[in-house]
Amino acid sequence: MRHFLTLNDFNKDELLSMLDLALELKVQALHGQVPPYLGGKVLAMIFEKSSTRTRVSFESGIYQLGGHGIFLSHKDIQLGRGEPIKDTARVISSMVDMVMMRTGAHERLEEFAEACSVPLINGLSDDFHPMQLMADYLTMIECGIYVPHFHALYPKEGRIPVVAYIGDGNNMAHSWINLAAILGFELRIATPEGYAPKDAILSRAQALCAQSGGKIIVGRDCKEAVSGANVVTTDTWASMGQEEQKKERERAFAGFCVDTAMMKLADSNAIFLHCLPAYRGQEVSEEVIDGAQSRVFREAQNRLHAQKGVMLYLARVNNIPLVRV
């Protein structure tokens, strides 16, 4: 069974195939002609952490593909009352065709996957947010950032994109690290001292870079990271579950706000991305997130199309019968 727990579950060609599907499905959606490939199929959506974009994009996505989504809050199912994860996984996967889970510890996803008899998709965990990165890369493609495989969209042949990630070394940073290592682009990360990405995740990615041609640099200097970058991105300083650390983190992250002055250091055609929700005046200024270089709302909308591509790809590789069109 092929699950999608992290970007590392797939190679470069497989991830690009999903993005090909996403682009195709987006064009079809814009013309109101999305075939019901997953007609009659059911997606169970388990939310141990609340969300706006993850719920709406997955529920709308499965519906547009002809299927149906079931929202399962941890408060409403036995998982929230202490039922073993493996028991919940066995039961739910015996009744549906695919599962999306948004949770805390990544180990919970891994345990669920071991007992799950249908494809499982990581909607977010404390360590990784792969669906967001699929949407981010799709947005880069659409915005004309040169990316391998889609090079015809950008005139600078042979140039790999430079992405600058400013802020917390969290699940978003980890997923950017994975994507850079697999697809082979340059990633520069700037974090305050004590907030760097996990060493194990970084070490594995650095080893992959030797094969892909990717380059990952982790430091403390925001200006150095952003200089000449094609993409500047960040995330909230205090993620869900870290609310009690908010004041401490605000002090630690002083100087890490992506503002107009910082964006001026990037490439003149650079775009700004943020997974949302954003806190204006903290990790990003009002002028940047609502400015001409911001693509955050296209990025958010691309969650829908990227995830449709992922769901359709997983259905195909796991031999789930599709509706013939």
In the set 129, 249, 295, 305, the catalytic residue is 129
Residue in 3, 116, 127, 132 annotated catalytic: 132
78 is in an annotated binding site: yes
Neighbours of 52 (CB within 10 A): 10
Q: 53 among the known binding-site residues?
A: yes
**Active-site annotation holder among 275, 282, 295, 307:** 275
Cis peptide before 277 (omega within 30 of 0): yes
Q: At residue 164, what are phi and psi to the nearest 5 degrees?
A: -110, 120
Does 275 participate in catalysis according to the annotation?
Answer: yes
Residues in the chain: 325
Query: Which helix (H) or strand (E) is 16 found in, with range?
Result: helix 12-30
Tell me: is residue 52 an annotated ligand-binding position.
Answer: yes
Q: How many CA atoms lie within 13 A of 104 on its CB side?
A: 6
- What DSSP designation does 97 have? S
Is 28 tagged catalytic? no
**126 bridge partner residues:** none
Q: What does the block give as tokens for 69? A: 């989504």
31 appears as a binding residue in the annotation: no
Whether 257 is catalytic is no
Query: Is 171 annotated to bind ligand?
Result: yes
**301 assigned binding-site residue:** no
Has 245 been labeled as part of a binding site?
A: no
State the Cα–Cα distance between residues 86 and 268, nearest whole angstrom.
51
54 among the known binding-site residues? yes
Is 282 catalytic? The answer is no
Which member of 188, 295, 303, 305 is catalytic?
A: 303
Task: Judge whether 235 is annotated as a binding position.
Answer: yes
> Which residue ranges are tagged as binding site for carbamoyl phosphate?
51-54, 78, 102, 129-132, 275-276, 303
Catalytic residues: 102, 129, 132, 235, 275, 303
> Which residue ranges are tagged as binding site?
51-54, 78, 102, 129-132, 171, 235, 239-240, 275-276, 303
> Which residue ranges are tagged as binding site for L-ornithine?
171, 235, 239-240
